[in-house]
Amino acid sequence: MTGDRPESVFEQHGGFPVFTPADPGPGFARFLTAMRRAQDLAVSADPDSATWDEAADRVEALVALLEPYQADEGVGPASRMPSLPGAGSLLMPPWLVTKFDPDGVELEVQFSRYHVGGNYAVHGGVLPLLFDSVFGMVIHAAGRPISRTAYLHVEYRKVTPIDTPLIARGRVTEAEGRKAFVEAQLLDRAENVLAESNGLMIRLLPGQP
């Protein structure tokens, strides 16, 4: 998919810094797992008032512990741990990449209670976040420079369940200059399409944010 573009073009990142993988040690993976579970419980637990007070005390203590270490983007391990679900970012659904080739990418993803919009179905707004992440990976896997999303269209085919292993696939369908047209699908294990998306990614110019 790189065509006849010189390698130097791929190395352009607009105004983005070049992020490198992080190595924070095993404690970060444990922290991430616990925080994901805490997110699930934050939207599903129903304890008594005293327990909420105690939980608030503990969370405030955690904030106090970490606040002195707040760093700039790309310095902390979040989003820089490809071996962890969601690359180590709590913002992202917990996906793991199973294919990363110029002809497309594939992810395994499983949503949880934190992602519910209603009636135990994944919130419709979560799926564009997943697809936008897939599109970014597709662009990188195809050997194209960093790009911004110009538009992203989602069609919802079936209810997306929680606590169920799912598959997301994406690829570049057409490239023209700075433009790359992309598509992706979210499927269950029986290959039923739950949602699909298409979009346009625009390569950043040098220095462009």
Q: What is the pLDDT of residues 147-169, one digit of tens each?
A: 999 999 999 999 999 999 999 99
Q: For 7-203, which CATH class?
A: alpha beta
Burial class (CB in 10 A: 0-12, 13-18, 19+), 18: exposed
Strands 116-118 and 166-176: unpaired
What is the Cα–Cα distance from 47 to 15, expressed in whole angstroms?
A: 47
Q: What is the pTM of this model?
A: 0.90
**Residue 112 clears pLDDT 80, i.e. is over it:** yes
Task: Locate the domains of the chain by residue range.
Answer: 7-203
Q: Under a CB-based contact definition with an 8 Å cutoff, are residues 156 and 195 in contact?
A: yes
State the average pLDDT over residues 80-93.
95
Burial class (CB in 10 A: 0-12, 13-18, 19+), 113: middle
Q: Under a CB-based contact definition with an 8 Å cutoff, are residues 84 and 30 in contact?
A: no
